[in-house]
Structure formats: C-alpha cells, structure tokens
Structure 1
C-alpha cells in the first residue's frame, strides 16, 4: 500500500473572512478520504497537535489543525500565543465556529475528499468540538474531556464562556465522548448531566469514562498522560470515525 503523506502549513479562510494559519496532513494516494478537523487545547497550536494531525493522515484521513490564536499572535511561540488569547478571555464561540467551518470547507475542497468531515478536540477543544457540531453540519464529533459544556468556569479563570449543553438539540452528527474518572473539569457528575440531555433529544452518542485517568490523559508530554486510557481512547476514536467518516 502506498503510504506517503504530505504535511504543511497553509492559510485558510476563517471567521469573518480572516486569513488563518493551519497545519494540514494528508495521504498522497487517490482516496477518497474522510476529513478531520483537529481543535487544539488551551496551551495552543503546538507540536503535539501537529503530531495528532499527522496521526490521522497516517490512518487515511485528510486532517487539519487551525491555529485558533493566529489573530492574537501570528508566528508566536504556542505558549506566548496562548497567554495572549487567555488575556482577552479566550476564543469567542462565534469565531471558533467560523474557523472550524473554514477548516472543514478546506478539507472538502481537496480532490481526494469523500465529502465527510468530523471534528475532534481536547480540553477546551473538547467543548469547542461539541459547539462546532451543534452549529455546523458535520458527520462525526469527538469530545475529549471538554470542560464547561455543563457548568461555568470558576471565579478567577480567564475565560469569557458560558455552558452550552442547551445546544444539544442542535447536534448535527454522532458524538463520541472520552473522559477520565478522576477528572474534575468535567467531573463524572457533569458528563452524566450531559448524557441526560443527549438522551432527552434522541441524539446518537457514546460516552466512555476511563478509570485511573484524569484531565489530559491523551497528552504524552505531560504528567497527566495515562498510556492505557490513551491507547483505548485512540482505538475508540478510529473505530468511531471508521463508522461515520469512511467512504
């Protein structure tokens, strides 16, 4: 099997017609391929999420990770860009939706696309993945321990965001949720409340909560990494996308 891929930085059209930097990885065979928009975590558009983007390409997906902090700090170190965005209260929800929509349109425009696009996000990106799936027409969404879908940020946190569980009725696609039993943002009680809403509105979803794992268990560069939970989580992600994004 021909397994070459191309990975590069491109510019896409994001919210408000703004030019936004993004990292794209794609197989070089004929396809057709499903697409995945990778939403980076709060610490920023970093090497870890570029690696995740390449991981999807290695499994036969067109993948793109938009730099959500590009407007605040183009060309900056991910940590500095993240600090600049946090100082302004985080990424506004409407802007996030526009940027993810632009990234999805970019994937659909590729000649090897099968027209299907999913989204995945980690930490703040998990919430944003659900948000995008409620505001855009997508084919699959993955929420990896997204905080504040249910419940507001505590006092003192530099985020101007509100809970969005009320948007569940508008969810456009199947949802996969991957959570840690030891997490507090979101807590198991909050994910249970989220699940009640999904059931109430008859949405297609599956939630998995991993014992011995807390927030950030996918992150190989942090102490929070839990190899067993991450391994099982990746299996569930690829099974889920295989069912909903494959040609």
Structure 2
C-alpha cells in the first residue's frame, strides 16, 4: 500500500483562534497534508462576511501549498449567524473597528506561525473592505506579503450613507512592513483609479515596495464568480499575479 501524500491533499475545518483582546473567535482553516515547511496566508473576508466564496478561497491557498486561515471578523456581533445576517449586523454597527481588525489578524498570523510545519512567513489578502484591511494589517504588523484587491477608502473618505465608520489610512503607508500587490478595476469608483494612484504615490514617496495593476473593462468585484461584476480575463490574470507574488515572498528560503 502506498502511504505517500498527494501534492494537492488538504484538510479544512472550522477552528477557534485567539483574536484581539484575547477573545476566542471562530476561524476557517485549510492546510496541505505533509510536513514540508509552508508559508501562511491570512484571508480577510469581505463585508458580505465569512461566506462560502471566502472559504473556497482559503482552500485554494491550501491547494497551492500554503497554510491558510480566515478569521470570522463577525464572531462577536453575530456568533453562529448566517453570513447574510452577520453582515447585516456588522453593517448596522459601521463595520469592524480598525484596532480590533489588526488584533484579529495578528491572532491569525500567530496561529499560522504556531503550526508545526510553519516557515515563519505570513501574508495577508483581502477583497473590497478586506482589501483596505489587508493594507491596514500590513502597516500595523510584521508580515511578509500583502494583497489589496480593490480595497476602498484607503486614501479617501467614506461617502455619506455607506455602512462603514472608518477613516482614511493612507498616512500609514510609511509603516508598510512588506511588499504590497494591488489589483484594481479601471471602472471602479471605490476605489477609483485616482485613489489608487494617490496611494501608489504615497508608497513611492516612502520607498515602499509595491506593484499595482489596474484592469480595463473591470469594476469592483471582478474576482467574484457568482456576481454580474465577474470579469474572467481580469480574474485569471489577477490570480496569476497573486500566485506569483506569494510564491516569491512566502516560500521557504525566499
């Protein structure tokens, strides 16, 4: 009998990690089987919540060879609630406070670095509100890579009527701890091409490594396969950039 582990064999499960303030919060984790050293990826879910598509993304990173974890940022407000109900509750409260987000991502990174096969390198990725939070985490924590997928309100203010109570964080660019990959749509309004150009200028001013890509004929949410906003060409190209970026920055010996 052959006991060898397949290269793409993974295990995925719901677990509990320690988040901000020592709170125990729900998280979804996926990791490759086998003992080879692995980098880690913290997946920050979008405002619609800790949902099926975000969990699928977490499993995708495991299949690519990383230990991955997605903390449920709404664990405190809506424990056990459906993604839609939890998101509605969070929106009514103005979203996740920045300070708490940083603490939850710090806990997720500590979880990844504590795994037996961890190589100590951790990256973070987020879409939409999670893109902004990915940038925030990378400016607040010791990380090795960060991906911002169309994260809005980094340099500009939240318009009146939006269900978010956060402010601009572009001034944190000077504190960026790792290379940043930014993926945006030319037809997006939040963030607009002007806003992403402003952030790129801030990063350049402070000598921070970054690579921004803006896709034509794509708007907000172009990665979302279950939405009308999905743009296959931009999404495929974006995933190729993400895979190469994490491979360069999270692999053992990189």
Q: Which category describes the TM-score, using the shorter chain as reference length? A: over 0.9
Which residue of 132, 144, 151 maps to 1:146? 151
Where 1:214 maps in the other structure, the secondary structure is: coil
Which residue of 23, 27, 36 maps to 1:22? 27
Where 2:60 maps in the other structure, the secondary structure is: helix
Which residue of 40, 45, 65 maps to 1:40? 45
Where 1:138 maps in the other structure, the secondary structure is: coil
Which residue of 137, 140, 163 maps to 1:135? 140
Which residue of 81, 90, 94 maps to 1:89? 94
Deviations 1:134-191 (CA, angstroms, capped at 9, x unpaired): 0000000000000000111111112110000000000000000000000000000000
Where 1:45 maps in the other structure, the secondary structure is: coil
Where 1:36 maps in the other structure, the secondary structure is: strand
Where 1:30 maps in the other structure, the secondary structure is: coil
1:1-247 map, 5 Å: 1-247=6-252
Unaligned runs of 5+ in 2: 1-5
Deviations 1:95-147 (CA, angstroms, capped at 9, x unpaired): 00000000000000000110000000000000000000000000000000000
Query: Size of the alignment, in residue pairs?
Result: 247
Give the whole-Å Cα distance in 2 for the aligned partners of 1:29 and 1:147.
38
More displaced 10-residue stretch of structure 1: 2-11 or 181-190? 2-11
TM-score using structure 2 length: 0.96
Alpha-carbon contact 1:108-1:114 (below 8 Å) kept: yes
Alpha-carbon contact 1:179-1:210 (below 8 Å) kept: yes
Shift of 1:31: 1.5
Deviations 1:187-243 (CA, angstroms, capped at 9, x unpaired): 000000001000000000100000110000001111111011000000000100010
Give the whole-Å Cα distance in 1 for the aligned partners of 2:74 and 2:8.
32
Alpha-carbon contact 1:32-1:114 (below 8 Å) kept: yes
Moved over 3 A (4+): none
Cα RMSD of the aligned pairs, angstroms, is: 0.6
